[in-house]
Structure 1
């Protein structure tokens, strides 16, 4: 027969600590963390703050994100991927084609060097997917609001509540959002774009203005254009990319057909796109991409964004303050890996918190040290790689074109090297 002391001892041994977490930013990284933490840390109190009003319809946000296979699998594990597919606004990436516009003068092979990576040769159903920001975030937000409604004592959503300050205090952090509240842990997941971010300086981090801009929009392709292919093209002005989209039109009332998202990077100081009208831009685009793309038939209005690098040296600061996603690193879009890097931040942070909460107390400091140590190799590899590619367009053009062309040819010819690139592209550095 158990005594009262036996029952008390058992309760103390099996008790789980209450952990209060503030997530600042209800974008894809912040919502992903909140949703998964609510399930994996059933004793945690989680509050999400976001400045946008509760009635804002995020589903119509047309910004395009490239998801790696690892990110697709993460969304599948979260039970959200089917809802996203049901919108019919998701396009699978089944092939990646990387080439350059300038000829490689020393190339000994037939044609010009290029890297071709396919899902079939990698033994996976797809290399990744392309999705709009709204299609990604809307199901996440709906799922989080449902979780909040089901467990209001533990979970909270603060729409229309900008966070004005975060201050490290003894045993946690204070969040100033009109009223000051104490939390054990604050996660900043609200990064924004490079142009809106404060510049960093060492040792806090690195900030670099690439003096490049990205023209963003959609293009309509010929009916016989191969489906599911993402094209990366290195040009003398900078990288350009086409990412597959579901069939549709690119202008209201326009013809329906195969579409692609366009990312067209050019120098800010000598912009070859700004002074062109739409017809001239379309003509230039048809000279940039390889013959496999076929004819680019129509183009949507383009928006332009300045490009640069902001990367914090540390992911954890002031004890219990963590940065993830664009709040930790804002990258050049040359590799299309910004969101994927942020989702891997979420995965590793959650794993560290779960490991730390297995006992009768949650050692937040230890969990955060483990998280930062495990994340740094992956993020530093990607930051350095995209930074090198972005800055390489300032190198002397003949030298750059030859070196890059030979590198593409070697990558395609050497199977193990190409498999390593494909794995990194799909899952990050593991």
Structure 2
């Protein structure tokens, strides 16, 4: 297929076939019915990603987005997803001056918010495998317009007159390139201002799965602030956390600790389980078993802008890699997709009648609208997660009291709690 930008139809290159890139490709193929869309990804075409166990937390807005793509019903029917019906936020440290017997905590439920769930939890493979299958089916049905290039690394992007040159196996020119391949913080180069902000939190996230007692409440996500850092449990479908082990109520664990004074690294599995049972509130119940844990360094990489000098945009982790304290990275990327396509839709509808130079200017105007509309949401979330992540490196004891009192007050302020719930589910609007 000739993908040069000199043709009448809008041409779009998407770099990265992860969840954000595939969501963009699938939705673009529908919302931009004249556009020619090519997805590049370095992984081999025959690589099976369905078993990738990495845990993803979807907000209710993201679940609805996948529903509009026609994917969520099949993903849910697989039995490999778990709804989040309640979020419980508390802290381990005592709150000085708190007048009540029960420690302060914030509890947000789907029932209070009038929604079936606040979000859902699933594995990376459970989400991306059906997205990839749907995209490949779309490519097979419309091969003259849609292209998938597996096993193809993009080595560079260069703005040229009339578009952007994508340097892969051969150099192709597109009207627009969208970078959706971000990876994790440890694999990303540090950003230098004004390009963006990089911050190493000097924290390690230990991740895995735990087996809960059968009495543990179902569908509850726990966020726990501790002196070492935040810890979270996210509900998973019932199953075993170790090969051949007992099956039961499971949760995904994210356990953040200081890199330089790591209390988890030096322990064996039995000791880790004992320590973990002291971290979460009594509502969780006994944590009976733990899978082997993997460690990941934590940091912030946030590009100042979503749009480069030419027609190149960034979405998802390619634009911002956040601390997992809020669990909002993928949700932010899917909101990027929605806003970008809304900005491009008008160009696609008139592209066949628009001169090349005019279309290039129209693409840049659309990208400016996309960036302007997305910045409030992304900057608010970047600032919020950055503040929470860094607050655990501050030693002042008064911070725990302030945070605890804040949790207690928030629980009593229904409008504020509703606003927080809407922000969690749908982002800043």
TM category, shorter: over 0.9
For 2:182 and 2:415, the matched residues in 1 are separated by 36
Instruction: Tell me the residue number matched to 2:3.
Output: none
Alignment partner, residue 413 of structure 1: 412
Distance 1:138 1:49 in 2: 16
Q: Distance in 2 between matches of 1:42 and 1:427?
A: 27
Q: Which residue of 1 aligns with 2:422?
A: 423
In the TM superposition, what are the counterparts of 1:240-389 in structure 2 within 5 Å? 240-359=231-350, 360-361=353-354, 362=359, 363-389=362-388
1:134 partnered with 2:133:
no
- 1:25 and 1:169 map into 2 onto residues whose CA distance is 22
Give the SS at the match of 1:191: coil
- Cα offsets for 1:15-68 (capped at 9, x unmatched): x95011000000000000000101111110000000000000010000000000
- Corresponding residue number in structure 2 for 1:4: none
Give the aligned partner of residue 197 of structure 1: 188
Q: Do 1:17 and 1:357's aligned partners in 2 also have CA atoms closer than 8 Å?
A: no
C-alpha deviation, 1:87, in angstroms: 1.4
**Residue aligning to 1:186:** 177
Residue 65 (1) aligns with residue 56 (2):
yes
Q: Is the contact between residue 244 and residue 261 of structure 1 (CA under 8 Å) also seen in structure 2?
A: yes
Measured after TM superposition, the shift of residue 397 of structure 1 is 4.4
How far apart, in 1, do the equivalents of 2:70 and 2:202 lie?
A: 40
- Structure 2 stretches of 5 or more lacking a match? 1-6
Shift of 1:165: 0.9
Q: Aligned match of 2:142 in 139, 151, 155?
A: 151
Matched with 1:400 is 399
Which residue is equivalent to 1:173? 164
- Show structure 1 runs of 5+ residues with no match: 1-15
Secondary structure in 1 matching 2:325:
helix
What pairs up with 1:234-245 in 2 under 5 angstroms?
234-245=225-236
Provide the C-alpha distance between the structure 2 equivalents of 1:145 and 1:205, rounded to a whole number of angstroms: 35
CA contact (8 A) 2:33 2:348 kept: no
2:23 matched to which residue of 1?
A: 32
1:280-314: CA deviation from partner (whole Å, max 9, x where unpaired): 00000100000000000000000000000000000
Q: CA deviation at 1:329?
A: 0.2
State how far apart, in whole Å, the 2-side matches of 1:170 and 1:17 are: 16
Match of 1:44 in 2: 35
- Cα deviation 1:225-246 (Å, max 9, x = unaligned): 1100000000000000000000
Spell out, residue by residue over 1:182-228, the C-alpha distance to the aligned partner (whole angstroms, 9 max, x if none): 11100000000000001001111000000001000000000111100
What CA distance in whole angstroms lies between the structure 2 residues aligned with 1:193 and 1:153? 34
SS of residue in 2 equivalent to 1:174: strand
Distance 1:21 1:196 in 2: 26
Paired with 2:105 and 2:396, the residues of 1 have a C-alpha distance of 18
Tell me how far apart the structure 2 counterparts of residues 331 and 170 of structure 1 sit (CA, whole Å).
35
Give the superposed CA RMSD.
1.0
For 1:397 and 1:112, locate their aligned partners in 2 and report how far apart those are by CA, in whole Å: 20
1:99 matched residue in structure 2 = 90
Does structure 1 residue 124 correspond to structure 2 residue 124? no
Specify the SS of the correspondent of 1:212: strand
Equivalent pairs counted in the alignment come to 415
CA distance in 2, matches of 1:339, 1:322: 17
Q: Work out whether residues 34 and 349 of structure 2, in 8 Å CA contact, stay in contact via their aligned partners in 1.
A: no
Q: Pick from 115, 119, 125: which aligns with 2:106?
A: 115
Paired with 1:200 and 1:155, the residues of 2 have a C-alpha distance of 33
Q: CA deviation at 1:356?
A: 3.3
CA contact (8 A) 2:217 2:284 kept: yes
Q: Take 1:286 and 1:312, find their aligned partners in 2: how far apart are those partners?
A: 38
Identify the residue that residue 213 of structure 1 maps to in structure 2.
Answer: 204
Is the Cα–Cα contact under 8 Å of residues 164 and 177 in structure 1 kept in the other structure? yes
| SS of residue in 2 equivalent to 1:58 | coil
